[in-house]
Chain A
Amino acid sequence: MMTTVSTLALRMAALSSMAASQARLASASEEVSTGRHHDVGLVLGPATGHTVELRMLAGELDAIRRTNALVDQRLATMQSALGAVSEIAQSFADATLSPSADEAARRRLVDDARGKLSALTGLLGATSNGAYVFGGENSTLHPLGDYLASPQPAARLAVQAAFSAEFGFGTNDPSVRTISASAIEQYLDGTFAALFSGPTWQASFSKASDRPLVDRIAPEETIATRVSVNDVGIRGLVAGLTAVIDSGTESLSDEAFSALTRNVFGMASKAISEITQSRAAVGLSQNRVTRTGERLEVQTARIEHEFGSLEGIDAAEAITRMNMLSTALQASYASTARLQGMSILDYL
Chain B
Amino acid sequence: MSLTIAYNIARQGLASTALATSVASRNISNASDPNAARKDTIVVGNAIGGIRFTALVGAIDSALFERSVQTGSAERFLDAVARGLERLSSFVGDPQSNASPAAQIGRLRDALQLAAASPEDGNAARSAIAAASEVVAGLRSAFATVQDVRQDANAAIIEGTARLGSLLAEFGEVNDRIVQASATGREVTDDVDQRNALIRDIAALVDVRPMLRERDDMTLFLANGITLFESGPREVAVVGNMASLPGQSGPPIHIDGVELSSASDLGGSLGGLLELRDGMAVIVGRQLDELARGLIAATAEYDQAATPVLAGITGLFTYPGGPSVPSSPTLVDGLAGSISVNPSVDPQLGGNPLLLRDGGIGSPGNPAYLYNATGASGYSGRLRGLIAALAAPQSFAPAAQLASDVGAIEFASSSVGWIEGERSRISAGLEDARIVNDRTVAAWQNRVGVNVDDEMATLISLQRSYQASTRIISAVDQMLNSLFEATR
Contacting pair B95 A9 (CB below 8 A): no
* Residue in chain B with minimal CB distance to A36: B96
Contacting pair B384 A52 (CB below 8 A): no
Contacting pair A53 B413 (CB below 8 A): yes
Report the separation of the CA atoms of residues A62 and B214 in the bound assembly, to the nearest whole angstrom.
76
- A window 39-70: CB within 8 A of B: 40-53, 55-56, 59-60, 62-64, 66-67, 70
Given contacts A7-B453, A67-B116, A344-B453, contact A56 B102 (CB under 8 A): yes
B195 to chain A, nearest CB (A): 19
Report the separation of the CA atoms of residues A16 and B103 in the bound assembly, to the nearest whole angstrom.
39
List chain B residues, Cβ under 8 A from A348: 456, 460
Contacting pair A211 B374 (CB below 8 A): yes
List chain B residues, Cβ under 8 A from A343: 452-453
List chain A residues, Cβ under 8 A from B374: 137, 209, 211
- B window 87-135: CB within 8 A of A: 89, 92, 94-96, 98, 100, 102-103, 105-107, 109-111, 113-114, 116-121
One of A118-126, A213-221, A314-322, A324-332 contacting the partner: A213-221
One of B163-171, B184-192, B423-431, B469-477 contacting the partner: B423-431
Main DSSP-derived SS at the A contact region: helix
* Interface flag for A138 (CB, 8 Å): yes
* Interface flag for A4 (CB, 8 Å): yes
B383 to chain A, nearest CB (A): 9
Contacting pair A49 B413 (CB below 8 A): yes
- A window 120-153: CB within 8 A of B: 129-131, 135-141
Task: Please count how many residues in chain B sit with their CB below 8 Å of the partner chain's CB atoms.
Answer: 68
Report the separation of the CA atoms of residues A13 and B446 in the bound assembly, to the nearest whole angstrom.
11
Report the separation of the CA atoms of residues A311 and B94 in the bound assembly, to the nearest whole angstrom.
10
* Interface flag for B376 (CB, 8 Å): yes
List chain B residues, Cβ under 8 A from A64: 113
Contacting pair A7 B421 (CB below 8 A): no
* Interface flag for A345 (CB, 8 Å): yes
Residue interface bits B406-421, CB-to-A below 8 A is 1, else 0: 0001100111111111
* Residue in chain B with minimal CB distance to A222: B384
Main DSSP-derived SS at the B contact region: helix
Option from B110, B117, B380, B415 in Cβ contact (under 8 Å) with A49: B415
Contacting pair A4 B451 (CB below 8 A): yes
Option from A42, A63, A138 in Cβ contact (under 8 Å) with B420: A42
Chain A, interface size: which category? Answer: 35 or more
Given contacts A6-B451, A71-B117, contact A45 B420 (CB under 8 A): yes
Contacting pair A51 B118 (CB below 8 A): no
B78 to chain A, nearest CB (A): 14
* Interface flag for B31 (CB, 8 Å): yes
* Residue in chain B with minimal CB distance to A67: B117
Contacting pair B413 A40 (CB below 8 A): no
Report the separation of the CA atoms of residues A271 and B442 in the bound assembly, to the nearest whole angstrom.
96
Report the separation of the CA atoms of residues A48 and B416 in the bound assembly, to the nearest whole angstrom.
7
A6 to chain B, nearest CB (A): 2
* Interface flag for B450 (CB, 8 Å): yes
Contacting pair B449 A7 (CB below 8 A): yes
A212 to chain B, nearest CB (A): 9
CB-CB nearest 3 A-B residue pairs? A49-B417, A6-B449, A45-B424
